């Protein structure tokens, strides 16, 4: 009977083991079918394109977008006025994704900046602030195991009588361990352990058939060299290795760097919004100039055609005037529906604002560009650029992180020396928990431990030393080179920023002068058209038509050049503010973290009370009652 039970146990254990170790075999989906002779098992493909079972919502404004404008007359379309401030506000509030004109959100969505990035960095379970603080949390571990031992013993139990007899040790044992440990900022470890063992065996000379034994142990371990001190543990963390640091301070700097990246994305978004806004303003002016030139050329052609009808010799002048009219027609069509035409530029502004491609209306800028000459204090501007640029602040945070890493690597280049102390209360009992028996002090394990009759302690030092400290020394040199590299990058950034700011300042002066020249050019071309038109009307001189057509083309080009230089001048002001680090202030945009909720504020107040020394402790109770009144 005993043999059958053991055989049964072996069969069950074998089945379980084969299931566990076999695992789950993967299908050969990327390998052709081995036996292709049987058509019933033949597959005509190796793998195929599949779509995930995902029902992602689609915005109504996107799915219900109207047919985009192409060559419609803008004067016949419904428009709505939009200021630059409203455009910036709409772009910031329309989506959590910080858009950019020409961005790759479709092809490379992982590289797109969003409003979640700073929070994702702060809450990263591998390198965030909470992950770094979690290394100092209390850890609770428990284990409970039962086991059955049935072992033959190599021992002559016959006492030399000659009878062959091998004793067998039959034991039932249960082990329960429970531990809580905590690591402090100084690197110390506190631990309290409870170990309980249940033992029942067939051994001889036992007081109890089964017993409970165990102990309660308190342990304190303090690093004295490597791994000691609040500076090292807050920088590197308690579980760091040379060259890899993820302490609280490093994690916080990573969050600050992610905030700087977010601010940089906001700056680029506002830069694109302002650029698209003024480009739309220019597109309107270009359309107006081409439309005005077309009307003038059309009137000229009609007048020459009328002269031809009454007998005037206009064999070549009339086709020339008609060709000029069609040239204006083609230019107007390109100004409306070209790559950089009115409708394309308006759609780019719609995208950056988070609007659908078309909704039956046309955006019309309501703000006028700056015409006055603007000058900046150069010394103050370059000082602001070198201190307020978000790229400089981000690099300074990187340098700060490298400095902390260098400090941690130097503190880590030491042997490991720990002081260890343990204190233990042991006990033995026939029962685990039982009332105390005056005649038997071992009646209960818990009671026996609490009486404290069996106490042990241990104290000592543990020493560990890697001869040469090669890895730690390499980590120090690596940190020094990293710091030197980041300092060199900062100096190069400062040099580049000064050059970019100088170029932006030059562009402001150059484009303002260009705007003045183009304005004078318009006045001269208008006067030329007026004189030629008057000459044509008074003399009916057909020879003047050629010069008039050229003057009308030149006037349209001059108007377009003036508005181009005007928009370039305003964009140069934007570029100067961007290079100076004041683009957000220039557009009246500020960044702020969302306000804390009531529970977070109350928790912070409750914790802060205990860090403020007070002469009268009852004052804390009174203030707490006022801050958190209890319902009646």
pLDDT reading at 40 higher than 60: no
CA gap 194, 514 in Å, rounded: 85
Which residue matches tokens 């100067």?
Answer: 576
Residues 6+ apart with CB under 8 A from 260: 390, 391, 393, 394, 397
Question: Distance from first CA to last CA of the chain, Å, rounded?
Answer: 73
| Average pLDDT of the residues in 138-153 | 90
Q: How far apart are CA 111 and CA 105, in angstroms?
A: 8
What CA–CA distance (Å, rounded) separates 421 from 183?
15
Helix (H, G, I), strand (E, B) or coil at 205: coil
| 144, two tokens | 């409970």
pTM, whole model, 2 decimals? 0.80
Residue 162 lies in a domain: no
- State whether residue 366 is helix, strand or coil: coil
What mean pLDDT is predicted for residues 244-270?
A: 92
Query: Per the structure, how many domains does the chain have?
Result: 1
**pLDDT-derived band at 622, boundaries 50, 70, 90:** very low
CA distance 441 to 445: 9
pLDDT-derived band at 151 (thresholds 50, 70, 90) equals: confident
Q: How confident is the model at residue 628 (pLDDT cuts 50, 70, 90)?
A: very low
> Looking at 128-283, which runs of residues are DSSP E strands?
139-152, 168-183, 189-201, 210-223
Query: Is 339 among the domain residues?
Result: no
Locate all alpha helices (DSSP H) within 83-227, ordered by sequence: 84-93, 117-122, 129-134
Inside any domain, residue 607: yes
Q: What percent of the chain has pLDDT over 70?
A: 80
Res 72: pLDDT = 78
Tens digits of residue pLDDT in 413-429:
999 999 999 999 999 88
CA–CA gap between residue 119 and residue 258 (Å, rounded): 9
pLDDT at residue 625 in the model: 42
| Of 442 and 245, more confident | 245
* Bridge partners of residue 148, in order along the sequence: 172
Q: How far apart are CA 561 and CA 345, in angstroms?
A: 18
CB 142 within 8 A of CB 175: no
Residue 423 and residue 457: Cα distance in Å, rounded?
4
d(Cα 359, Cα 454) in Å, to the nearest integer? Answer: 86
Q: Give the least confident one: 16-20, 204-208, 387-391, 598-602.
A: 16-20
Other Cβ atoms less than 10 A from the Cβ of 334: the count is: 14
Helix (H, G, I), strand (E, B) or coil at 558: helix
pLDDT one-digit tens code per residue, 501-516: 999 999 999 999 999 9
Q: How far lies 505's CA from each of 12, 291, 400, 494, in Å? A: 84, 35, 32, 16
Q: Are 564 and 282 in contact (CB under 8 A)?
A: yes
427's enclosing H/E stretch is strand 416-429
* In a domain? residue 262: no
620 inside domain: yes
Residue 9 is predicted with a pLDDT of: 65
| Structural domain contains residue 609 | yes
Which residues form the domain of 607?
599-627
Nearest of 481, 98, 530 to residue 271 by alpha carbon: 98
H or E, element range at 184: none
Question: Which H or E run includes 188?
Answer: none
Show the tokens assigned to 564: 């181009």
608 within a domain of the structure (yes/no): yes
Q: What is the share, in percent, of the chain residues with pLDDT greater than 90?
A: 43
The torsion defined by the Cα of 119, 123, 128 and 132, in degrees rounded to 10, comes to 140
Question: With contact defined as beta carbons under 8 Å apart, do 422 and 217 qualify?
Answer: yes
Run of H or E residues at 576:
helix 543-580
Position 13 confidence tier, pLDDT thresholds 50, 70, 90 = low
What is the CB neighbour count within 10 angstroms for residue 102?
6
- How much is the pLDDT for 571? 95
69 phi and psi, to 5 degrees? Answer: -70, 150
The H or E element that residue 460 is part of is strand 455-464
| Residue 145 to residue 174: CA distance in whole angstroms | 6
CA 367, CA 283: separation in Å to the nearest integer? 14
pLDDT band at 626 (very low <50, low <70, confident <90, very high): very low
What is residue 572's predicted lDDT score, i.e. its pLDDT? 95
Dihedral sign computed on CA atoms, order 345, 350, 353, 354 = negative
Residue pair 117/258 in contact by the 8 Å Cβ criterion? yes
Mean pLDDT for 551-559 is 88
Judge whether 619 lies within some domain. yes
On the CB side of 338, CA atoms within 13 Å amount to: 12
């Amino acid at each position: 009977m005993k043999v059958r039970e053991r055989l049964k146990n072996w069969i069950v254990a074998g089945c379980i083991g084969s299931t566990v170790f076999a695992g789950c075999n993967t299908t050969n989906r990327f390998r052709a079918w081995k036996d292709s002779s049987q058509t019933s098992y033949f597959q005509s493909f190796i793998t195929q394109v599949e779509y995930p079972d995902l029902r992602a919502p689609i915005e109504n404004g996107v799915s219900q977008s109207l047919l985009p404008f192409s060559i419609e007359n803008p004067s016949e379309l419904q428009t709505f006025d939009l200021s630059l401030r409203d455009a910036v506000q709409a772009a910031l509030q329309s989506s959590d994704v910080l858009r950019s004109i020409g961005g790759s959100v479709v092809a490379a969505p992982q590289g797109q900046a969003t409003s979640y990035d700073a929070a994702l960095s702060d809450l990263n379970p591998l390198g965030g602030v909470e992950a770094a603080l979690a290394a100092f949390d209390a850890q609770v571990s428990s284990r409970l195991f039962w086991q059955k031992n049935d072992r033959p013993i190599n021992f002559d139990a016959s006492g030399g009588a000659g009878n062959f007899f091998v004793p067998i040790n039959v034991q039932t044992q249960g082990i329960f361990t429970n531990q809580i440990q905590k690591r402090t900022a100084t690197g110390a470890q506190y631990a309290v352990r409870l170990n309980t063992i249940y033992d029942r065996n067939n051994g001889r000379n036992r007081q109890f058939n089964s017993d409970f034994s165990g102990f309660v142990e308190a342990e304190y371990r303090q690093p004295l060299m490597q791994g000691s001190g609040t500076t090292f543990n807050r920088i590197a963390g308690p579980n760091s290795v040379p060259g890899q640091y993820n302490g609280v301070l490093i994690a916080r700097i990573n969050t600050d760097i992610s905030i700087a990246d977010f601010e940089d994305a906001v700056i680029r978004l506002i830069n694109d919004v302002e650029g698209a806004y003024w480009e739309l303003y220019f597109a309107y002016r270009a359309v107006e100039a081409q439309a005005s030139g077309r009307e003038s050329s059309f009137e000229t052609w009609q007048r020459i055609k009328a002269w031809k009808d009454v007998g005037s010799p206009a064999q070549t002048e009339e086709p020339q005037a008609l060709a000029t009219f069609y040239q204006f027609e083609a230019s107007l069509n390109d100004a409306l529906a070209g790559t950089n035409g009115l409708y394309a530029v308006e759609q780019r502004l719609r995208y950056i604002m988070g609007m659908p491609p078309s909704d039956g209306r046309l955006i019309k800028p309501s703000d006028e560009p700056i015409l006055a000459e603007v000058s900046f204090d150069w010394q103050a501007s370059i000082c602001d650029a070198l201190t307020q640029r978000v790229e400089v602040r981000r690099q300074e945070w990187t340098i700060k992180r490298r400095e902390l890493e260098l400090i941690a690597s130097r503190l880590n280049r030491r042997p490991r020396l720990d002081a260890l102390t343990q204190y233990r209360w042991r006990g033995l009992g026939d029962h685990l928990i039982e009332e105390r028996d005056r005649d038997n002090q071992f009646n209960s394990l818990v009671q026996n431990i609490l009486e404290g009759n069996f106490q042990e302690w241990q104290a000592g030092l543990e020493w560990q030393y890697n001869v040469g400290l090669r890895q730690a020394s390499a980590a120090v040199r690596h940190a020094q080179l990293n710091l030197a590299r980041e300092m060199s990058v900062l100096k190069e950034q400062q040099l580049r920023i000064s050059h970019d700011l100088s170029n932006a300042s030059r562009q402001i002066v150059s484009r303002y002068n260009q705007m003045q020249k183009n304005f004078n050019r318009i006045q001269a071309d208008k006067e030329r058209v007026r004189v030629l038109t008057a000459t044509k009307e008074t003399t009916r001189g057909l020879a003047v038509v050629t010069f008039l057509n050229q003057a009308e083309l030149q006037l349209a080009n001059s108007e377009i050049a003036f508005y181009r230089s005007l928009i370039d001048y305003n964009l140069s002001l934007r570029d100067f503010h961007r290079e100076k680090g004041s683009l957000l202030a220039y557009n009246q945009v500020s960044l702020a973290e969302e306000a804390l909720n009531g529970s977070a504020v109350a928790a912070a107040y409750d914790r802060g009370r205990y860090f403020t020394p007070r002469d009268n402790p009852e004052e804390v109770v009174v203030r707490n009652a006022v801050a958190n009144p209890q319902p009646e």
